[in-house]
Structure 1
Amino acid sequence: MKRLVVILCVLLLQFALGGSGQCRGTLRVAASEFPPSVIFDDDGTVRGYDALFLGRLAEGLNLRLKIEHYPFQRALRLLQTGEVDAMLGVQYRPEREQFAYYLDPPYVTEATTAFYVLTGKENLIRKYEDLYGLTVGTSIGVKYFPRFDNDPRLRKEPVRGGKMNFLRLLAGRVDAVAMDDVGGDYRVWEFGLTDKVCKAKYMSSEPQNVYLVLSRRSRFMPQREEIQEVLAQLLRTGVREQCMLEHIDQEAALAGRMPPNLIRAGNRHLKTGIVPPPDEPEGRGHKAPPLSLPPVCP
């Protein structure tokens, strides 16, 4: 019944915006990989709950969708030149307003940073102060939370990829790995480390708005109010949460199983709306073939 209400709301909104079922063009969205939000497979398949959510947004606007894989900084440059229409996973920075229009509301409002340690050492970090004296693996360019980011007394060693951090943890080169808790849980499962790596007791939750932004050079700028209205309606009616559940089902089908901690994390975030990609998620350094979703357009 709830799903039917959501679909009806979107269809009514689509009608109110003048949607007649005719395709209004292709929306090109740049995104960096951040499992389980956005996942780019080697064969060009794009998965993840926010990939699904962008598909629902495109449906509501009668648009085709292409999700293209770029490292974060390159995606920003393409947004600036208008070579892509939109970008996923952007935090507010005043200087970015010159070329990026922040679509309101943000689709994420809070971030939780976890610290991953070797199994059996979960009590190594029970409070923030326990980080002092430890070597913490981080990712280049990623923002975590202000106290951690700006603390000169911490010993942080950044690398480009999340997998490298976990390899360094296993080798004893770092004492802990800092990562978003849902993304981190997914990585631990993906890399087959569930029996070797766990989360420390201490985690930090901070307010953090993450936006879908529109290039000010995009041909869709005149429709920005329509896009915001559809986006707000989808968020209000729980469509993003539905996409999370769909993604969990898809991953379970692909892998034949889904680790209980990821299911619990998904359920927790369904209630809180928290599943935050960081401001500058890691990229593979290359562009994957785009995801094309023409659910409405012929």
Structure 2
Amino acid sequence: MSPIFPLSVAALLACLSFSALGEKLRIVTEPWSPYVIVDGNHASGLDYDTTSIVFERLGIDVEWQFLPWKRCLMMLSEGEADGVLDIFKDEARADLLYPNEPLSSVDWVLFQANARPHAFNSMEDLHGLTVGVSPGYRYSPAFDNSTSFIREPAPSHEANFGKLIRDRIDLMVTDRLLGRQMIKRLKLEGQVSQLPVVLNHRGQYLALRPNAGMDLLVQRFSAELKRFKREPAYAELVERYTGEMSTARPEEPGESVDKTVEQQESGAL
């Protein structure tokens, strides 16, 4: 028997259904609205719903876990998860398998307390400031590697907004859509506002650990995702969760503020 035959069978089984092997695809991600929303035992969100629909069409059963981002990445690297949702393509994670098609996009932007405004047009404007970040997140090479300001992590997005209005940090960075929804949910209108310059624009992806058949599964996921994003059902999801109309596919790679100052409306992870 050719050694290629067993591998082909394994790939076919992995792509057709993990249920055929009595298994589920284990995917981890962090809740962050509007992409992944967890309310009690109910999960929803633009990227969660989209991924669930695509896998259902492919006949793949999924087991979801919602955890802090650093824990998600740890489970992925230790083989405790098969994939992670809403991750950026990154050279440091080149061992992962990414579909060609992104799920959505984020715009990393800065938020300020209106009582203590800060002008921001370039990285030099952050000199000497303390900026709230989320553990394990990557924003842009210029922002992540700068030594001219302090990056102070917080355990949650809510905590970062709390530190911002209590003058414990000067600015905070998060996704544009998430930030706007958090301001509304935390009733911070008039107290916190978004600065207009986009630090970075990035596509968000599903990524899988390399195993038998996973490369073929990633290809099938990408093809089905492209088909779904052309359907009215996808446009309805975008409008429901973001309040915006569905647009063209996210650009990848994104451009950092070092290269261009984007005046735009993102994604994150």
Per-residue CA deviation, residues 71-95 of structure 1 (Å, 9 max, x unaligned), is 3333334334544332212334556
| Alpha carbons 1:53, 1:240 under 8 Å: kept | no
Alignment CA distance shift 1:94-1:47 (3 Å): same
2:81 is matched with 84
Aligned equivalent of 2:170, options 155, 170, 175: 175
Structure having greater relative contact order (Cα 8 Å, sep ≥ 6): 1
The 1:37/1:117 distance shift into structure 2, 3 A limit, reads same
C-alpha distance in structure 1 between counterparts of 2:109 and 2:165, whole Å: 17
Residues 40-90 of structure 1, C-alpha deviations (whole Å, 9 max, x = no match): 22x211111111011111122112232211233333343345443322123
- Compared with structure 1, are the counterparts of its residues 77 and 224 closer, same or farther at alpha carbon in structure 2 (3 Å cutoff)? same
The sequence identity of aligned pairs, in percent, is 22
* Corresponding residue number in structure 2 for 1:277: 268
Task: Work out whether residues 28 and 66 of structure 1, in 8 Å CA contact, stay in contact via their aligned partners in 2.
Answer: yes
- Whether contact under 8 Å (1:118, 1:197) holds in the other structure is yes
Consecutive unaligned residues in structure 1, runs of 5 or more: 1-16, 252-261, 279-298
Instruction: Mark the CA change 1:135 to 1:81 in structure 2 (over 3 Å): closer, same or farther.
Output: closer
The aligned counterpart of 1:295 is none
In the TM superposition, what is the alpha-carbon distance from 1:20 to its structure 2 partner?
9.6
Note closer, same or farther for the CA distance 1:136–1:180 as it changes in structure 2 (3 Å cut). same
Deviations 1:233-273 (A, max 9, x none): 32255259844632653x6xxxxxxxxxx52xx33x63453
Shift in CA distance, 167/244, structure 1 to aligned 2, threshold 3 Å: farther
Paired AA for residue 127 in structure 1:
N
- Does the 8 A contact of 1:110 with 1:276 survive in 2? yes
- Aligned pair 1:75/2:45, yes or no? no
Instruction: Report matched runs for 1:144-223 at 5 Å.
Output: 144-206=139-201, 208-217=202-211, 221-222=212-213
Aligned position for 1:13: none
Distance 1:56 1:233 in 2: 10
In structure 2, runs of 5+ residues without a counterpart are: 1-11, 252-265
Distance in 2, matches of 1:32 and 1:132, equals 30
Contact 1:114 1:179 (8 Å CA) reproduced: yes
Matching residue's letter, 2:100:
P
CA RMSD after TM alignment = 3.3
**Superposed displacement of residue 181, structure 1:** 1.0
On the 8 A contact 2:16/2:58 being kept in 1, the answer is no
Taking the aligned partners of 2:192 and 2:225, their CA distance within structure 1 comes to 36
Q: Does 1:56 align with 2:56?
A: no
Query: Structure 1 residues 248 and 92 mapped into 2: Cα distance closer, same or farther (>3 Å)?
Result: closer
CA distance in 2 between counterparts of 1:104 and 1:191 reads: 35
Distance 1:82 1:21 in 2: 20
Normalised by the length of structure 2, the TM-score is 0.74
